[in-house]
Each structure stands twice: as C-alpha cells, then as structure tokens.
Amino acid sequence: MNNVVLIGRLVRDPELRYTQSGTATAQFTLAVDRNLSREKRQEMESKGQQTADFIRVVTWGKTAELCGNYLSKGKMTAVTGRIQTGSYTNQQGQIVYTTDVIAENIKFLEWGERSEEPATNNDNDFVPYNDNSKIPF
C-alpha cells in the first residue's frame, strides 16, 4: 500500500508549468512539523536542528492549476497521495535519487491573507453566558 497524508505550510509559491501537450503540472514544497514535545522542539531549535521535514509535492491537471492560482507561501495545506521515487543523471554524471509525493487530493486549509489576530464572532445573536446573564428560556 502506498498512501501518504500530509498537513503543512508551503515553503514558497507553487511552480505552475504546462507540458508540451498542454497538461498543467505544479510543484511545491510542504514544511511538515515533526511530532515533538515543546521541550524537545526548543532543544532541537537551540542546536540548529530541523524540527520539520520538507517534502516536495507534484500535482497534475486541474488540481495543478488550482494550486498555482490559489496557494501561496505560508498557506496551511493538506495533501493525500502516493510516494514516487525516481532518479536522473546530473551534469556531473552523478546519479541523483528523488522522492516526491504525487498528490491525488489537496485541501486548502487557509484562504486569503494571513492575519495575526484571531477571528472575531460578529454574529449579533450570540450572547456569552456568565453568572449575571439570564438564560433566555
């Protein structure tokens, strides 16, 4: 079974390209945090060690176009897909091995501009309960 599920933030904007036949393809890298305790994360960061994995994701077709048009650096994104390995020979004649996640499903977990302030509830029907409030029923 070859199944991958990732949630992370884009390291940079996706690279959208088209093949000679006109098929869209997009590549981007997700920074996926490792499951570490706060203490372990702080320890690793103080030593200059990585606390996230950087995983290259490849998409095709309409999904690639949507990613290229709507995803951007820093956006939280969920990806499901499969791992694909490959290799090529670089200009120095060395074999380079690659590992990519071929995305089958992508969920945009953040839209629009990122904000440092938490969202507020503007629903006028909402009344917070406290000891001084009367229950309306």
Average the pLDDT over 53-57 and give the result.
Answer: 95
Average the pLDDT over 16-21 and give the result.
Answer: 95
Interatomic CA distance for residues 74 and 28, integer angstroms: 11
User: pLDDT band for position 40 (50/70/90)?
Assistant: confident
User: What is the pLDDT at residue 44?
Assistant: 84
pLDDT, tens digit, 9 for 90 and up, residues 61-97: 999 999 999 999 999 999 999 999 999 999 999 999 9
Q: Can you name the CATH fold of 4-108?
A: OB fold (Dihydrolipoamide Acetyltransferase, E2P) (2.40.50)
Closest by Cα among 39, 13, 8, 35 to 26: 13
The pTM for the full model equals 0.73
Beta-strand ranges (E) seen in the chain are 4-10, 15-18, 24-33, 52-60, 76-89, 95-108
Judge whether residue 127 has pLDDT over 80. no
Give the start-to-end residue ranges of the domains of the chain: 4-108
CA distance to 71, 82, 99, 122, 133, per residue, from 15 (Å): 10, 20, 17, 37, 54
Average the pLDDT over 115-119 and give the result.
Answer: 40
